[in-house]
Structure 1
Amino acid sequence: MPSAPNTSKFVAIVTGANQGIGKAIVAQLAHRPTSSLIYLAARDEKRGNEAVDELKNGLPADTSIAFLHLDVTNEASINAAAARVKSEAGIVNVLINNAGVAAKGSAFDGEIAKWTVTTNYTGTRKTTQAFLPLIPENGRIVNVSSTMGRLGQVSKELQDQFSSKSLTLDGLDKLMDQFVASVADGTYASKGWPQQAYGVSKVGVTAFSRVLARQPEITSKNILVAACCPGWVRTNMGGEAAHLSVEDGAKTPVWLATADKQEILEGGKLENGLFYRDRKHVEW
């Protein structure tokens, strides 16, 4: 019989964490003066384990980092990861959805739109759904989005739909599906969409955070939900010209994961599910 999960530790999961911002988030969470179990989640097992081996040196005695195999584009992988964490830890205090992709250069077609949205938006949505039952009262969900996902890049009609307080998760799925379909058939511009797969995928991530924050399973457990932009960071995605280090890029996600909730919500002045950059609320 397996041993009972250890619920005395702070348990966090960071997706897409074998490199870049995700890896820096894991490092910063692990070096807090709190007994912790940090799951470094990634789809590449070899690189994920190498990242764990690198980060585990010098950790506080009561903190550990474990590799978690998780491909956010594969539902079976997501469900297997959730089952493992349920068995080992029992809870997830913080889920940080960091995994994401962006096509290089100016290439733009139906396949690129589908790949980008499937990873960045659908992957975030399905991963959150799988782990949500493990998130306890006052837990947190942090979705790494981007300023490139600004709402103003879509038409006024689409802006109204994305920002509507009556938008449902199913309705949001349909909007994202409409974008992919309109790119595939070449009608995207006439329907109010930009020639920007990454940007639209991040519109979806930020909108998901807003809609998720209204769900009964979130409000009943007082779970904090937030989307954030890490800034322009020197990563494989951001490029060498970016002015921020990965350590800088990790600061806002880590702040949202660990800071006092009253500070994040400005003493209750802000709604749940908003967008942040540089450790402060900014307009979407």
Structure 2
Amino acid sequence: MEGADAGNLGPVTHELTGRTALVTGASRGLGRAIAAGLAGAGATVIGMARDPDALQEAVASFGGRALPHDLADVDGIAARVDGLDVDVLVNAAAVMSAPRSKTLDASLAQWRDVRAVDLDAPFALIHALVPGMAKRRWGRVVNLSACLGRLTGPGTAGGLAPYRVAKAGLNALTRNLAHELALGRRGVLVDATCPGHCRTDMGGPDAPRSIGQGADTALWLATRDSSPSDPAPTGRLWEDRAEVPW
């Protein structure tokens, strides 16, 4: 992967042949690794990212389709994905707060810029694509959260306020939607995962985890077996394939 170690992806548990997946942030890092893994599981993958050239290069490497879009343009998302039947949605794109962005220091513009990509764009994609999943009674929504968005452990302990709060909101969106979809009994699983501090452009070259390690749980969530009559555990926050507290 560009600028970072891809690592090794764990095995998927369910083939996705005949399914369509849309992955945001697919031009690099975790999004690209997840998109490639889903393609390897048989899915037709649509990659979404703002840089059309980088996105085209990425999707060419795993045989996907490029759908360039700047996720900061939240109002344009619905039109961009109109007419798509998507079975797997992975919200992997994110932007980080400025280093000195405590609650009382961050500007309203900074707050809105981070929230647009990290929370509002996932909502817009869910709003556009998940009704079709529920109608077809099969779907997977995987939201890439962050340990910094947890209300326990390393969560809201100060600093990076726009990013932490947006990720906490993404966690709440995940849980709320999962319950609205009857915790898998309508055929759609909705989960969040903390990939950890990975060697991506955001995490830097000295981060302790590889991109493959960070992407593994998202791929596992997207490929789990489940049925409306016997749904897999869902509406949860996962790290390294294990549930962790919100």
Residue pairs, 1:78-93, within 5 angstroms = 78-85=77-84, 91-93=85-87
Structure 1 residues 269, 137: CA separation in 2 closer, same or farther (over 3 Å shift)? closer
Q: Which residue of 2 aligns with 1:243?
A: 208
Deviates more, 1:248-257 or 1:219-228: 219-228
Instruction: Between 71-80 and 225-234, report the one with greater CA deviation.
Output: 71-80
Residue 195 of structure 1: CA displacement?
5.5
Return the offset for 1:119: 1.5
Q: What residue in structure 1 maps to residue 5 of structure 2?
A: none
- Listed as ranges, the gaps of 5+ residues in structure 1 are 1-7, 57-63, 86-90, 156-192
Q: Deviations over 1:34-87 (max 9, x none)?
A: 3x311111122121112122x13xxxxxxx4100123322244312322152xx
Task: Give the alignment partner of residue 56 of structure 2, picking from 49, 54, 70.
Answer: 49
Q: What is the CA–CA distance in structure 1 between the aligned matches of 2:197 and 2:74, rounded to whole Å?
A: 30
Question: CA-to-partner distance for each residue in 1:157-189, whole Å, 9 max, x for gaps?
Answer: xxxxxxxxxxxxxxxxxxxxxxxxxxxxxxxxx
| CA contact 2:142–2:218 (8 Å) conserved in 1 | yes
- Structure number with the higher helix fraction is 1
Question: Relative to structure 1, is the Cα distance of residues 220 and 261 closer, same or farther in structure 2, using a 3 angstrom cutoff?
Answer: closer
TM-score (normalizing by structure 2) = 0.81
CA distance in 2, matches of 1:30, 1:237: 24
Is the partner of 1:259 in helix, strand or coil?
Answer: coil
Q: In the aligned structure 2, how far is the partner of 1:194 from the partner of 1:259?
A: 35
TM-aligned CA deviation for residue 220 of structure 1: 6.3
Count of aligned pairs: 221
Unmatched 5+ residue regions in structure 2? 1-16
Q: Distance in 2 between matches of 1:49 and 1:269?
A: 34
Counterpart in 1 of 2:33? 24
Residue 109 of structure 1 aligns with which residue?
Answer: 106
Deviation string 1:165-218 (CA, Å, 9 cap, x unpaired) is: xxxxxxxxxxxxxxxxxxxxxxxxxxxx86622111110111110111122588
Contact in 2 for aligned 1:69/1:77 (Cα 8 Å): no
1:144 and 1:253 in contact (8 A); partners too: yes
Q: Equivalent residue for 1:134?
A: 132
Q: Answer whether contact 1:210 1:273 (CA < 8 A) is retained.
A: yes
Helix, strand or coil at the partner of 1:225: strand
Cα gap change, 1:195/1:72 in structure 2, threshold over 3 Å: closer, same or farther? closer
Amino acid at match of 1:113: W
Cα 1:75–1:198 change in 2 (3 A) is closer
Contact map agreement 1:72 1:126 (CA 8 A) in 2: no
| Contact 1:213–1:273 (CA under 8 A) maintained in structure 2 | yes
**Which residue of 1 is the match for residue 143 of structure 2?**
143
| 1:17 positional shift | 0.9
> Alpha-carbon deviation of 1:114?
1.9
| 1:39 aligned residue | 46
* Alpha-carbon offset, residue 27 of structure 1: 1.0
- In the TM superposition, structure 1's runs of 4+ consecutive aligned residues that sit over 3 Å from their partners are 152-155, 216-220, 267-270
Which of the numbers 146, 154, 162 marks the counterpart of 1:197? 162
Distance 1:130 1:247, change over 3 A: same
- Supply the AA of the counterpart residue of 2:123: R
Percent of aligned positions that are identical: 33
Q: State the partner residue of 2:7.
A: none
Structure 1 position 115, deviation (Å): 1.3
| Alpha-carbon separation, structure 2, partners of 1:217 and 1:77 | 29
Q: Cα distance 1:14–1:117, how it changes in 2: closer, same or farther (>3 A)?
A: same
- The structure that has the greater radius of gyration is 1
RMSD between superposed Cα atoms in Å = 2.5
Q: Which amino acid aligns with 2:57?
A: E
Superposition TM-score, scaled by structure 1 size: 0.70
